[in-house]
A and B are shown apart, each in its own frame.
Chain A
Amino acid sequence: MAFVPGQPVTAVVQRIEIQKLQQGEHLILGFSIGGGIDQDPGQNPFSEDKTDKGIYVTRITPGGPADVAGLMMGDKIMQVNGWDMTMVTHDQARKTLTKKKEDVVRLLVTRKSLEDAVKHSKGCYPRK
């Protein structure tokens, strides 16, 4: 998941569609995010590369919309409804996810197990 500046980022992603749940007067998604370009990347427990300033899923409310949709803890969110999430501040990410006018968010998330699965299916083991 490390990136080389100036080169396009490639990742194996999973598309997850989450329906927002109305709770009182808020629409909630049922997970928490951490990370962002204005945050300290060294404190992210889920990233492999400790300089990765992307948005990560840090907590999932069990039984919430995100859990139902298949989001897992530790996923890195690459896109939300087409908006890029790899180079945003923490607040920008929060705002993108909690737009009042949208009641469904389509996320592209990536995780290590996805890449491993693709590699396995290709038939070649990761070379050391």
Chain B
Amino acid sequence: MQSPTVMEAGEEVLQVLGVCETVEEIKDVIVTTTEEDSNTNSPPVASSGPGTKPSQDDNWGETTTAVTGTSEHSLSQEDIVRITKDLEDSVGLDCRRYFTLTLAVILGLLVFLTPLAFLVLPHLLWPERLQSCGTACEGLFISVAFKLLILLLAVWALFFRPPRAGLPRVFVFRALLAVLVLLFVISYWLFYGVRILDSQDENYQGIVQYAVSLVDALLFIHYLAIVLLELRQLQPCFSVCVTRSTDGETRHYNLGQLSIQRAALAILEHYYCDFSVHNPALLSASKSRAAKHLAGLKVYNVDGEFPAAPAEGPGNNAAAGLAHSQSRAMIAAAARRRDSSHNELYYEEAEHERRVRKRRARLVVAVEEAFTHIKRMQEEEQKKAPGDVMDPREAAQAIFPSMARALQKYLRTTKQQHCHSMESIQQHLAFCITNNMTPKAFLESYLTPGPTLQYSRDHWLARQWTLISEASVTSGLKDGTVFLLKCVDFSLVVTSKKIPYIQMSEEYIDPKSHKFVLRLQSETSV
């Protein structure tokens, strides 16, 4: 493995060597180099993280500011919260899942064994009085067998698929269908029991036909299940607008007639593919601005009353009036104050944009140069130089150090450094090298934040979602339905609108009717 090509100051050596270590250590390295860059934009990453080594920077204690809640520290705390919640809930969910599974299996067995029982019971109970089965009757045996086979395959295809999610309430349609099947089978058994078992009917062909009619009706119920569960929601009926609450990213999807919980499930599956990954580090700037606004003016009450007590209840009119006048005074003062924060924002953003572009340019050049150091070995060369041959992983490790620093700096500037670990970058590099991808293709996943699916599992940050809705979650989507999908860090606000009824009319144009004339403007001399 060749040594890194760029070595300037002592601190930079520390940084380059730190590249190959764990994510925890990287955080510490960020602490030190942030001070050197004097980057006022970045959030105070210098706030405490687990396992910080104070010896790395003597000024660490003095330069920390108030925790803004967006540092790496808050991420790991949320991880802990999430893990405990997962532990609590997993037990309850599994019980429910197994319960429904056993119910379904029992129902299925009942349904399949019923026709067979109808056919077999006469032979067991009154075999001597039974009429022998003629040709037509035996033909019906074949039909029963094949229909049962088809029913078995169809039920397996429709119902026995691995469940994608655990929803809060039961599937209404599935429950209704199960009840329908149960009632149906019970009524058939009742009839069988009363009219055939009790009276010990000898007409075996009639019994076989009865069993065949049962299987036919079951196939029709399965058709009903397909239509209700699968086909009905295929036709798009509603257009839903999904907005992420933290940064406002919005998408629109078309959904059919679904219940709210199924619509929420469909939306979440789209969320993981379409929305860019949630990056809490990007929100720090607006939060610090908001904090500055609040901290700009303070209201002191010099009359000796305590304005701190919040106005509770209608009886507390004096305090309520006080709070009102305070807020009005603050608003008036803020309006009069010459606020130059918009100016700061403008220049900050321009500066940040410039810095990002510069780092991106350096990164692109470094990666392109790195990729020129290796090439795929041809077959003829294999015999010539067997010593220097590397597999993709080794090749990636060989060229990685030359681009590591540029990539690290770029990720830090765009606040994506927590999304990519060194291991994942090297893996991605090996993958790109194996598949003959260009440097641009390799960089694409770092230059733009991709959908959540692209990142490793621990960045998914939530598999536990809460559906908050005013209407019952098993009721259908309607025009103007609003519900929230909340996870630990953010929530998705979903509104639905009905797709309007489109009235289309036709107009026939004769192909021969396309005729043109020149626009004349002649001048004649007389």
A residues neighboring B (CB under 8 Å):
28-29, 31-34, 38-40, 43-44, 58-59, 61, 90, 94, 97-98
**Is the pair B520, A38 in contact by a Cβ cutoff of 8 Å?**
yes
Query: Does B519 contact A40, Cβ atoms closer than 8 Å?
Result: yes
- Contact partners of A97 in chain B: CB under 8 A: 526
> Which residue, of B520, B522, B524, B526, has the highest number of chain A Cβ atoms within 10 A?
B526
Residues of B within 8 A of A (CB): 519-526
- List, in ascending order, chain B residues with CB within 8 A of A33's CB: 523-526
- Nearest first, the 10 closest Cβ-Cβ pairs linking A and B are A32-B525, A43-B521, A40-B519, A97-B526, A34-B523, A29-B526, A94-B524, A39-B520, A32-B523, A58-B523
What's the minimum C-beta distance from B366 to chain A, rounded to whole angstroms? 61
Contact partners of A28 in chain B: CB under 8 A:
525-526
Tell whether A90 pairs with B524 under 8 Å between CB atoms, given A40-B519, A43-B519.
Answer: yes
Q: Which residue of A lies closest to B517 (CB)?
A: A38
| Least Cβ–Cβ distance between B256 and chain A, in angstroms | 53
The one of A38, A40, A94 in contact with B526, judged by C-beta atoms closer than 8 angstroms, is A94
Chain A nearest Cβ from B522, distance in angstroms? 6
**Contact call B521/A44, Cβ cutoff below 8 A:** yes
* B526 and A34 form a contact (CB under 8 A): no
A sample of 6 inter-chain contacts (CB < 8 A) reads: A31-B525, A34-B524, A38-B520, A40-B520, A43-B521, A44-B521
Which chain A residue shows the least CB distance to B522? A90
- Give min CB distance, A77 to chain B, whole Å: 10
Question: How far, in Å, is B519 (CB) from chain A's closest CB?
Answer: 4
| A32→B526 contact, CB < 8 A | yes
A5 smallest CB distance to B (angstroms): 22
Inside 8 A of A44's CB, which chain B residues have their CB?
521
Alpha-carbon separation in the docked complex, A33 to B521 (Å): 10
B498 to chain A, nearest CB (A): 47
* Distance in angstroms between the alpha carbons of A59 and B525 in the assembled complex: 8
What would 10 more interface pairs be, CB under 8 Å, given A28-B526, A43-B519, A94-B526?
Answer: A31-B525, A33-B526, A34-B522, A38-B520, A39-B522, A40-B519, A58-B523, A59-B523, A59-B525, A98-B526
In the bound complex, residues from chain B placing their C-beta under 8 Å from that of A38 are: 520
A126 to chain B, nearest CB (A): 31
Residues of A within 8 A of B523 (CB): 32-34, 58-59
Of all chain A residues, the one with the shortest Cβ separation from B525 is A32
- By secondary structure, the B interface counts as loop
Q: Is the Cβ of B526 less than 8 Å from the Cβ of A90?
A: no
* Least CB separation from A34: chain B residue: B523
Q: How far is the CA of A94 from the CA of B519 in the complex (A)?
A: 19
A99 CB to closest chain B CB (Å) equals 10
Q: Which residues of A contact B520 (CB under 8 A)?
A: 38-40, 90
Bound state CA distance, A39 and B521, in angstroms?
Answer: 6
A121 to B211 Cα, complex, angstroms: 112
Nearest residue in A to B524 (C-beta to C-beta)? A94
Smallest CB separation, A50 vs chain B (Å):
12
A34 to B526, CA, bound (A): 11
Q: How far is the CA of A85 from the CA of B524 in the complex (A)?
A: 15
CA distance A34 to B522 in the complex (A): 6
Q: B residues within 8 A CB of A29?
A: 526
Tell me the complex Cα distance, A106–B522, Å: 23
Find chain A residues with CB under 8 A from B519 CB. 40, 43
A61-B525 Cα distance, complex, nearest whole Å: 10
Give Cα A59 to B523, complex, Å. Answer: 9
Q: Which residues of B contact A34 (CB under 8 A)?
A: 521-524
- Name which residue of chain A comes closest to B519, CB basis: A40
Shortest CB-to-CB span from B312 to chain A, Å, is 69
Alpha-carbon distance between A44 and B519 when the two chains are bound, in angstroms: 12
A43 contact set on B, CB distance < 8 A: 519, 521
Q: Which residues of B contact A59 (CB under 8 A)?
A: 523, 525
Residues in A whose Cβ lies below 8 Å from that of B522: 34, 39, 90
A41 to B80 alpha-carbon distance, docked (Å):
80
Could you tell me the distance between the alpha carbons of A31 and B526 in the complex, rounded to whole angstroms?
Answer: 6
**In whole angstroms, how far apart are the Cα atoms of A90 and B525 in the complex?**
11
For residue A18, give the distance in angstroms from its CB to the closest CB of chain B: 10
Least CB distance from A61 to B in Å reads 8
- Chain A residues contacting B524 (CB-CB under 8 Å) are 32-34, 90, 94
- Which residues of B have CB within 8 Å of A39? 520-522
The smallest C-beta distance from B521 to any residue of chain A, in angstroms, reads 4
Question: Residue on B with the closest CB to A91?
Answer: B524
B520 and chain A: residue at smallest CB distance = A39
Complex CA–CA separation, A97 to B526 (angstroms)? 7
Minimum distance in angstroms from B516 CB to a CB of chain A: 13
Distance to closest chain B CB from A7 (angstroms): 27
Residues from chain B with Cβ under 8 Å of A94 in the complex: 524, 526
A15 to B341, CA, bound (A): 77
Complex CA gap A31/B519 in Å reads 23
Q: Which residues of B contact A40 (CB under 8 A)?
A: 519-521
A29 to chain B: closest residue by CB: B526
Measured in the bound complex, the distance between the Cα atoms of B524 and A61 in whole Å is 13
CB-CB under 8 A from A31, the residues of chain B are 525-526
How far in angstroms is the closest Cβ of chain A from B48? 77
Taking CB atoms, residues of chain A closer than 8 Å to B521 are: 34, 39-40, 43-44
B2 to chain A, nearest CB (A): 75
**Cα distance, A29 to B524, chains bound together (Å):** 12
User: Nearest-CB distance from A54 to chain B (Å)?
Assistant: 14
User: Please, how many angstroms separate the alpha-carbon atoms of A32 and B526 in the complex?
Assistant: 6
Bound Cα distance A43, B521 (Å): 7
Inter-chain CA distance A43–B518, complex, in Å, is 13
Q: How far is the CA of A48 from the CA of B520 in the complex (A)?
A: 19
Query: Which residues on the B side are within 8 Å of A61 (C-beta)?
Result: 525
B525 to chain A, nearest CB (A): 4
A58 and B526 alpha carbons, distance in the complex (Å) = 11
The residue of chain B having its C-beta at the shortest distance from the C-beta of A61 within the complex is: B525
